[in-house]
Amino acid sequence: MTNPKYLIPLLCVLFAGCTNTSNKENLAYQFIKPIPADKSLFNGDLKELNATTLPALFSFTDFNWKDSTLTLTAYSIDTYKASEIDNLQKGDTILFRNDTIITDKIERGKYISINGGIEFGGVDLTAHEEGTYRVLLMDNHPQYSQLGKVKLPLSPALTIIDCGDNPDDPSDTIRTNHRQWLANVKEYKRDFSELNTRVNIENGIITTITRFWIP
C-alpha cells in the first residue's frame, strides 16, 4: 500500500507530465496561403473589370481591329498577409505553387528566405504593397496566378507605352495607328507577357497598355 505522504507528490508529477505532453501536442502552427485574388473587382465576371491595372498575356493577333477589341488572359500577383509572414516561425506551413513547405529555417534581411530559398526547395519573400509580401523569383519577378480569359473593348483614346530594347532606352508612346505600329515592330515584340505587361481598364474598357523592360 502506498504511503499517503508520498501520494500527493506522485500525483503532482503525473499530472505535470500529462500537462507538458499535451502542450507539446497542441502547439498552434500557422498554415499560410496566398491571399485570394480580389474577385469583387470583377463582380464574378471579368467583363465587369473597373478602375484596375492587371498583368496580362496576349499577342498582336488577339487584337480585333474591326470590332476594336482585345482578347487577353488576365493574371494576379500572389501575395501573403504581412501579419502572418512577420510572425512566421519554425514548424509553420506555407503554400507556394500549390506545394506545402514546412518551415525549418527562416533568414530575415532585405528579404525573407524560407528553407534556404527557392534554389533549395524553399521560397523567398519580399515586402509588397498594402501590408503584404510577394514571392521573389529570379530577376525580381513575382509569382502569378491566372484569373481568366476575356475580350474587352479598346478605348478610342488607347495609349500603348512600350519599352526599348535596352533598359536605358526611352519608351515609345503610341496614341494613334496602333495596328500599323504592331505590324512594324520586331517580331519578338508582337507577343505580350504577364511578366512585363500591364493593362489599365476603366469601366470595362482598355485605356492603356504598358510594357516595361525586363532582363
pTM of the model: 0.81
pLDDT of residue 49: 75
For residue 21, what pLDDT is reported? 46
Q: Compare 148 and 93 and report the one with higher pLDDT.
A: 93
**Separation between Cα atoms, residue 121 and residue 186, nearest integer Å:** 38
Residue 18 has pLDDT above 70, yes or no: no
Rounded CA-CA distance 20/201 in Å is: 57
One-letter identity of residue 162: D
At 115 the three-state DSSP class reads: coil
pLDDT tens-place string over residues 90-142? 999 999 999 999 999 999 999 999 999 999 999 999 999 889 999 999 999 99
